[in-house]
Structure 1
Amino acid sequence: MTFYGKKKQLISLGVLLFFVIYGSFAYWYWHTNRENDAEQIRIHAEIISYDAWNLDTTGMRSYLQLVQKTEYYKEIGVIIGKNISILVDGHSSLSDIDSVLARLKIIQVRNHSAPIVYHGEIIGLIHGQKLVRDIYPLITAFFLQFFLVLTAIFIIYLSINRRLLKQQVFERTKRYHELVNLLPEMVFETDAEGTIVFANAIAINRFGLADLSTSVHNFFDLLDMKPAEKDVIDLESITSGREQEKNEYTVHASDGSSFSVLIKAAAILRNDTVTGARIVMVDITERLALEEQLNRDRKMKSIGMMAGGVAHDLNNILSGLINYPELMQHQLPEDSPLHKYIKPMKDAGLRAAEVVADLLMVARGVAAPRSVANLNDLIHEYVASPEFKNLQEQYPDFTYSLELDPHLHNISCSIIHIRKCLMNLVVNGVEAMSGIGNITLATSVEDIDILETPYGKIRKGVYSVLSVHDSGKGIPAYELEHIFEPFYSKKELGRSGTGLGLAVVWNVVQDHNGGLGVSAGESGTVFTLYFPCTKREAALPEVELSQKAYRGQGETVLIVDDELQQRDIATQFLKSFGYTPYSVSSGEEAIEFLKKQRVDLLLLDMVMGAGLNGRQTYEQVMKIHPGIKAIIISGFSESDDVKTTLQLGAGKLLNKPYTKENLAEAVYLELHR
């Protein structure tokens, strides 16, 4: 029931109780007064019995007059025998109010009589008509009771209202505390000296505050400030709303750790005087970490954009450095002394192409197909590879061990880039040990809920995990946040690569929607890579064919590329394998050519100068020759245009710079798809 409903019920109960009590009192008073009047007239009869026996009429009359005046009789008289009758009339002695009330019948007349007895013998009769003046005491009693009832109701009302107010205050206080304790921020209330008088649950837990009612904690003791700073940053400056030099502070948690917070406060004012403060403390550790990660991502993106642009131009240049020596090798006699110069030239171009591939990986735009593989198989392939053998020859004093999970799940990945990560981490570990120590390659399966690392959040899922552990001296803590930045390297210049190795690892993991972690200590450094698992089975390895198997039967191929050198190289390669090549320098020329002539295959560069790009060209060509087969060429990235072109029907993506064998295999497989 609401407060107003209780109030109405209380009033109704009070009115009913009032009339019940008053009615009971009025009836009691009336009955008692009637009995008293009857008893009183018997007393009068007894008193005048001596005068009546002596027939003293003067004495009887005087007594009756006295009774009439004092007891408000309208008339009173005595009858003795048949000869004596005395009657005293009191009309003239009534007051004006009594007269009016008598005429209005408010004051009524009550007849009383009693026998006059003398020595046991009735000698006469006293009778009278008394004015019943009960109205006066009843009115007095009414107002007195009315006042008492009102007073009682008021007291009860105040009691109920006080109880309701206490309940409301309790509920509001409880609601306030519950809401404050639900906040993720830390909330404090202090007095004018900074002593904490209230703290919510999270603040008590974070700072280990004991019972505030029995122990004293000063708010400024939580802040990591020097004594001189406390004089400057006092309570009034925090709560006054004035601009401060800094609003971010470092505080000490109960476990001894420190973290960054943002403090917002409001003054508690009484008579324009600061008597305390209400303070909200926000933990900004996660925000600072996100800002740092965002800055790192922006730096990586800007470096990647630069690297990608450089890599695109270098790929076109390297095509000539790699492909022309190939053409020369096939045209020179086997005993020509020029072979010893041409092969190193081609190998140098291939090594340069690997650096460019790293730049593209840093740009996170490398175009590479995905296939299902198992990390255990990739590790076995790597330790049996020529690259690993060369590393063992260069550093003969290092050893390696394998700790592979036999139940490891497959992953969907770019195999060439996973191999690149594995190779970079092993080389990095061997060089960190100066060639003396042990490298452990391990795999495992982990079911992760959510894992926070300094290098990003790893989402929920099942992951195949690759870890590379070297027994070197470890990476200093101040370097850990920079090791994945491109060109950041503490190794000897000219001996340890380009400084892109770990940047490639970081970008490969990001492209595979995985995560990574690094731990370093006296026992060495452990790099841990997480790749999402797949339930798909790994494909059977393709059977390698000889170059003779890739020869054509005069099939026609249209080369579309804005680089003259690229068109010339592709033309000569295709002719050497028995194909009939044509070439144009733009998408517009390709469309005009195909309007007049049909070809078996389209060799289409994705990035061209002004005019149509590769995707736009392919869309127009499909309108002329639906279902035409195509191979797309890219020296930069697996962009949205590349993905769209593959979805439209292009069969394969070939990265620049490609070798003669790469081109022959791609053309053969596409024509026979």
Structure 2
Amino acid sequence: MPLTRKVIGTLLVAGFLVLLIVSGMRYHAGLLVLTGEYQHLLRSTTRHLGIALREPIFQHDLTTIRDALAAEFAQPQISAILVWLPHRDHLLLGLERAPDRRLVPTNDPRRGKPGLSLEAPILRIGANGESRLVGLVGVHLDPEAGRAQLRTRVLQDTLVDGLGFLLLITVVAWMLGESVAAPLDNLRTRLRIVEEAANQPETAETWPHLGSPAADPELAGAFRELRDMAASLGSVLETLWRRGESLRITLNSIGDAVIATDAQGVITRLNPVAEVMTGWPRHEAVGKPLTEVFTIVNGLTRAPADSPVAKVLASGEVVGLANHTILIGRHGKEYQIADSGAPIRDDHGQTVGVVLVFRDITEQHALESQLRQSRKMDAIGQLAGGIAHDFNNLLGGMMGSAELLAAKLPHDDPSRRYLDMIQQTGRTATELARKLLSFARQDRTEAVPVDLHQVLRDTGHLLEHSISRKISLRFDLGASRPLLLGNASDLQNLFLNLGLNARDAMPEGGTLSFTTRNLHLEPGEYIDGVFPVQPGDYLVAEVTDTGVGIPPELIERLFEPFFTTKVAGKGTGLGLSAVYGAVKRHQGSIRVSSLVGKGTTFQILLPQADPKVAAVITRSEVNPVQGTGLILVVEDDEHLRDTAKALLESLGYQVKLAANGVQGLAMFQEAPAEISALLVDLVMPEMDGRSLVLELRSRGFQVPIVVASGAAPPADLPKVLGPHGLFLPKPYSKVTLSQALATVLRPPPPASKT
């Protein structure tokens, strides 16, 4: 069958040409998809490291940095990761994957090697809410392994398609031979016979003359129509394929998650980002209702959120999700998302489906919440500091007057009992103001000897004003050595957060217990906790409540920022994350045990201070130190001026008074040689105490200065005062004032000779 062979040959040649072209396009499209996936991997890896390395870089913790980098090499495409200090002036750590798959240090693995790289800044948000650049992270990928896999896959697909095409050609050839080629060959043979017979003279009258098939207009038109139809169909199929491939590549390259549904809300397509966030592979998700794959809830109430597809189909317009919407993945992972849905319309304007575009804003939401919380705490701290300052000024006048009056009364005078009550109440109020200042200062940088028992007692005093009377506080402080190196304010906030959480867990009342003990860990001993601990001596503090308890499935999430089981508006989810951070800063550990309906215990291990280093500074009353000389008192509060004058005169000093810094500077300049020392208030109108000290020091006066204030001193005050000054907290007593003046007036020791 000559025609059949021609058709089969033409189909084979055309088919293999098409197969080669399709294979090339498939490889090119695969490269585009692979590049998009690698770029997404670069972005996600640098973003994750930018979060994970903030604190380790800030603390210069190379072990944690190395562990974080090594964990990212679980992705086989990653060939190297480098971490620099800001401005790339120093390489902090670099790792690259060696040919034998080991991780080895490196300085610049990209030199002379192909691949993809991305660098990103590492920002740390400080206590004041400002972002600070602490480092740079660079990630390098080697795409060659992925390309080799792609080539192998394309070659396999091409072979499979070629075998399928040969089978198809065999079937088509058989069908053509049976239904088309054989009749046409038969027709052509008959026409040739008829034409030959018609050309014979003896049969010319018997056979009419018939033209050849090529000259037959009807037959030639049929062939042309078949050929045109085949060309048109091929063009349509190619266009459809190109459009589908272009759409697939575009969707896979988008950094946001995309899900498309039909008019019934059944998923028809989703891109790789959507697969990751929902936890559903494409081959499982396609064909399922959107509500089964895309599970969203209100982040505040945890109530199921309305399906955006239903809203779009009902309104026919673009809609967005409400704020605080959370996507719950297939395996329980949660994402804070921003979402929009839009209708898919056909050429007639009819809605035939919906496309959802959403992205993960969990990190952004967390940063915004942290910023709001930080600003709120700053405002509260400033308010507390201002209250404590004014409170201390009032206490200064009251306690100083009481002390002066007590000095004028005989020891057996009945009125002394009431003066003692005033002074004791003043000391209690002073301690409360000190705690307010400690909270306002939020100083977490200096590690000093701290008495854990005193911290717990102070926490108990604060909790007495914050918890219901139905809750009883119990203290069993059994540690014989309660000293540790740390920050008292940080530790107080730690135990205060635990106490407030325990209060919320006992709405009907109960018992809140604080216990301590000493613990020695031998080498090889293991303590289960959030952080590993080394052998040595530890203080163990346990905070136990008799509340509702915590379900086991929630214990692992307790220390996640913003995780809370409280109703909307009742908790920020930051209390236990602050506890986590304080324990980590003190190089301790924490573990939780709980029984639902019985209560919860938080056990905290803190390294005990070395007895050779730690020292407890005990306060003891001593006799006031008498003195002589002229003291210039610069104080804007009239009552405190008069009280200070009386106290100083009772100590043997002469006194001059100034109502503000400007007046005090003028009085000092009139007779600088006559003035032995200055007693200066820190916070004053016109010219404050710090400015007055700076002005005197800038003019070369090294007169002794005592700066007194009811607020926390500026960080640079010791540097401003120099060796001839010190800070005296208000309210001060006659004893502390006399000691401060004696200290600054004492001549400095002679310089040692070398």
TM range (shorter): 0.5 to 0.7
Structure 1 residue 262: Cα displacement: 1.5
Which residue, out of 328, 332, 338, partners 1:262? 338
Which residue, out of 385, 395, 399, partners 1:322? 399
What is the aligned partner in structure 2 of residue 669 from structure 1? 743
Contact 1:189/1:276 (8 A) holds in 2: no
Structure 2 counterparts to residues 11-410 of structure 1, below 5 A: 161-179=21-39, 187-192=257-262, 193-200=264-271, 203-210=274-281, 212=283, 216-221=287-292, 222-224=294-296, 229-230=306-307, 233-234=310-311, 236=313, 242-244=318-320, 246=322, 249-256=325-332, 260-265=336-341, 271=347, 278-362=355-439, 364-365=440-441, 372-374=448-450, 377-379=451-453, 398=474, 400=476, 402=478, 410=485
Structure 1 residue 469: Cα displacement: 0.7
Change (3 A) 1:249 1:659: same
Structure 1 residue 357: Cα displacement: 3.3
Structure 2 counterparts to residues 407-446 of structure 1, below 5 A: 410-411=485-486, 413=487, 438-441=513-516
Query: Do residues 573 (structure 1) and 433 (structure 2) align?
Result: no
1:344 corresponds to which letter in structure 2?
M
Structure 1 residue 541: Cα displacement: 5.2
1:637 corresponds to which letter in structure 2?
A
Counterparts of 2:688 and 2:715 in 1: how far apart (Å)? 12
Query: Do residues 655 (structure 1) and 729 (structure 2) align?
Result: yes
Contact 1:368/1:638 (8 A) holds in 2: no
Structure 1 residue 212: Cα displacement: 1.2
Q: Secondary structure at the match of 2:707?
A: strand
What is the aligned partner in structure 2 of residue 63 from structure 1? none
Structure 1 residue 561: Cα displacement: 0.8
Contact 1:266/1:277 (8 A) holds in 2: yes
Which residue, out of 587, 590, 600, partners 2:661? 587
Counterparts of 1:332 and 1:604 in 2: how far apart (Å)? 30
What is the aligned partner in structure 1 of residue 167 from structure 2? none
Change (3 A) 1:623 1:396: closer
**RMSD between superposed Cα atoms in Å:** 5.6
| Identical amino acids, percent of aligned pairs | 21
Counterparts of 1:614 and 1:268 in 2: how far apart (Å)? 70
Counterparts of 2:34 and 2:499 in 1: how far apart (Å)? 61
Unaligned runs of 5+ in 1: 1-150, 447-452, 454-463, 486-501
Structure 1 residue 612: Cα displacement: 1.1
Contact 1:518/1:525 (8 A) holds in 2: no
Q: Secondary structure at the match of 1:246?
A: coil
TM-score, normalised via structure 2 length: 0.50
What is the aligned partner in structure 2 of residue 138 from structure 1? none
What is the aligned partner in structure 1 of residue 688 from structure 2? 613
Counterparts of 2:612 and 2:420 in 1: how far apart (Å)? 40
Counterparts of 1:439 and 1:249 in 2: how far apart (Å)? 39
Query: Do residues 626 (structure 1) and 701 (structure 2) align?
Result: yes
Unaligned runs of 5+ in 2: 1-10, 45-254, 298-302, 465-470, 522-529, 531-537, 551-564, 749-754
Aligned residues: 475
Structure 1 residue 439: Cα displacement: 2.6
Change (3 A) 1:590 1:668: same
Counterparts of 2:617 and 2:274 in 1: how far apart (Å)? 62
Structure 2 counterparts to residues 489-528 of structure 1, below 5 A: 522=597, 524=599
Structure 1 residue 214: Cα displacement: 8.5
What is the aligned partner in structure 1 of residue 111 from structure 2? none
What is the aligned partner in structure 2 of residue 597 from structure 1? 672
Contact 2:259/2:270 (8 A) holds in 1: yes
Structure 1 residue 336: Cα displacement: 0.4
Q: Secondary structure at the match of 1:626?
A: coil
Change (3 A) 1:577 1:481: farther
Q: Secondary structure at the match of 1:562?
A: coil
1:654 corresponds to which letter in structure 2?
L
Deviation larger for 289-298 or 578-587: 289-298
Structure 1 residue 165: Cα displacement: 2.8
Counterparts of 1:298 and 1:467 in 2: how far apart (Å)? 31
Change (3 A) 1:154 1:210: closer
What is the aligned partner in structure 1 of residue 533 from structure 2? none
Contact 1:587/1:614 (8 A) holds in 2: yes
What is the aligned partner in structure 2 of residue 561 from structure 1? 635
Structure 1 residue 182: Cα displacement: 6.5
Contact 1:654/1:666 (8 A) holds in 2: yes
Counterparts of 1:285 and 1:536 in 2: how far apart (Å)? 46
What is the aligned partner in structure 2 of residue 478 from structure 1? 566
What is the aligned partner in structure 2 of residue 136 from structure 1? none
Counterparts of 1:385 and 1:199 in 2: how far apart (Å)? 54
Contact 1:410/1:537 (8 A) holds in 2: no
Change (3 A) 1:368 1:469: closer
Structure 1 residue 378: Cα displacement: 3.6
Change (3 A) 1:171 1:274: farther
Structure number with greater Rg is 1
Change (3 A) 1:282 1:244: closer
Counterparts of 2:608 and 2:473 in 1: how far apart (Å)? 35
Counterparts of 1:381 and 1:513 in 2: how far apart (Å)? 14
Contact 2:327/2:337 (8 A) holds in 1: yes
